[in-house]
Amino acid sequence: MTEGTSNEHQVQPPSGLGVAMVGHAFMGAVHSQAWRNVHRFFDLPLTPRMVALGGRDAQRVKEAAGRFGWSSVETDWRALIERDDVDLVDICTPGDTHAEIAIAALNAGKHVLCEKPLANTVAEAERMTEAAERARANGVYSMVAFNYRRVPALALARKLVEEGRIGEVRHVRAVYLQDWLADEDAPMTWRLRKEQAGSGALGDIGAHIVDATQFVTGDVLTGVAGFTHTFVPRRPGPGGTEEPVTVDDCAVFTGRFASGAVATFEATRYALGRKNAMRIEINGSRGSLSFDFEAMNDLWFYDAEEPGATAGFRRIVVTEADHPYLKAWWPPGHLLGYEHTFTHEIADLLTAIGTKTAPQPSFADGLRVQRVLAAVERSAAEGTRWEQVDSTT
């Protein structure tokens, strides 16, 4: 984890890194903000230069570049990769383009940061991981952008688990609840087309809780069983037409970790009132941890070794200088938000590249998540035996 500067602006570091980004919608906006600010807050071995932004529509990409601070534009991502002033390619496009862009960039000797989920299929993720491993042998690095690993409270949770503060992990309970699709008249988007997004809530937000629980526990899922459901099978498409929704709206699954820990997961975009409730609770043999992204500066800790009469979940407000990433930001007690997680991610990436260490999560970690998603889909399609319950009386 990268250390901050205690609010002091850093001395100009020795070398720069030319960055190009492909895509400029939601993820493009948050990544741009991180690239723009990261070196102003963190001590880094490399300073990013935002040299070019890629997008298919010339007018829109030009406007976005001006707004977000990119020096030039390209309308073909291949042109970005060919440029000598580009050292790193940041991929913020829908999943169906990740493999082609990432593999081409790595083969051209450019470092790669790729949005999650790594790919739309396991086969693509495998090819990306192979390309990443070949490139790494030549000092070219890659990382998949699971930004929630960089929430200070979750990084602290990881540290507490690693230090044995909750003992052996027994239960992992994770949900990711949003409600932006609950309105059945909400229009079609690429996120609802299998060919573009790979899957629905499962890959978009379920992927985050799979990665985050594997990260916090330091363990891996070895088996899953679950099902998915699509509540609204058709949505208003372009020009007054209707389009079929070809992905899941929600996914519910159980899982088992290599250690034997038992897990439950739920991902949905239909939980009215829940905006970005990514919640993780872990129960171990000595204590428990609990986190909710809607109150992302808090981590709740239950220490079973405290005297029973006064033991209880304790709220740790994760804003202090000795908490992960916090030293770089505001004086103690002030809060961070969603955007900071991306700045932390990019600070860690630049530190890894500058010190020639493999950044994490790697493409291999992304592939591991992809395999879990695929296993849930297989289980949903055919695997688990669904037992009917007699509900006649």
CB of 146 to ligand SOE, least distance (A): 9
Q: CB nearer to ligand SOE: give 178 or 283.
A: 178
Tokens of 277: 């409730």
178 binds ligand SOE (CB under 6 A): yes
CB of 245 to ligand SOE, least distance (A): 15
Q: How many CB atoms lie within 10 A of CB 267?
A: 31
CB of 247 to ligand SOE, least distance (A): 12
Within 304-333, the residues that bind ligand SOE by CB under 6 A are none
345 binds ligand SOE (CB under 6 A): no
> Which helix (DSSP H) or strand (DSSP E) does residue 171 occupy?
strand 169-177
CB of 26 to ligand SOE, least distance (A): 6
Within 219-278, the residues that bind ligand SOE by CB under 6 A are 276
How far apart are the C-alpha atoms of 294 and 343, rounded to whole Å? 19
- Which DSSP category does 242 fall into? E
Is residue 238 reached through a cis peptide bond, with omega within 30 degrees of 0 on the bond before it? no
- One residue of 86, 89, 174, 205 binding ligand SOE per CB under 6 A: 205
How far apart are the C-alpha atoms of 128 and 391, rounded to whole Å? 48
Q: CB nearer to ligand SOE: give 26 or 386.
A: 26
Give the contacts of 25 (CB within 8 A, at least 6 positions apart). 92
Distances in Å between the Cα of 341 and the Cα atoms of 203, 220, 296, 391 are 20, 23, 10, 47
Tokens of 235: 């949505």
CB of 276 to ligand SOE, least distance (A): 6
Q: CB nearer to ligand SOE: give 82 or 184.
A: 184
- Which DSSP category does 165 fall into? T
Give one DSSP letter per residue of 290-349, joined into a string: EEEGGGTTEEEEEETTS-TTT---EEEE--STTSTTGGGSSSTT----HHHHHHHHHHHH
Within 4-33, the residues that bind ligand SOE by CB under 6 A are 26
CB of 176 to ligand SOE, least distance (A): 8
What distance, in Å, lies between the first and last C-alpha atoms of the chain?
Answer: 58
Residue nearest to ligand SOE (CB): 204
Q: CB nearer to ligand SOE: give 10 or 276.
A: 276
- One residue of 204, 249, 345, 365 binding ligand SOE per CB under 6 A: 204
Surface-to-core class of residue 382, CB atoms within 10 Å of its CB (0-12 exposed, 13-18 middle, 19+ buried): exposed
How many residues lie near ligand SOE (CB under 6 A)?
5
Q: CB nearer to ligand SOE: give 140 or 278.
A: 278
Report phi then psi at 219, rounded to 5. -125, 175
Q: CB nearer to ligand SOE: give 180 or 313.
A: 180
Q: CB nearer to ligand SOE: give 211 or 219.
A: 211
* Residue 251, CB-side half-sphere exposure with 13 Å CA sphere: 34
CB of 305 to ligand SOE, least distance (A): 35
- The contact pattern for ligand SOE, residues 33-62, with x = CB under 6 A and - = no contact, is ------------------------------
292 binds ligand SOE (CB under 6 A): no
Q: CB nearer to ligand SOE: give 119 or 166.
A: 119
User: Where on the chain is the footprint of ligand SOE (CB under 6 A)?
Assistant: 26, 178, 204-205, 276
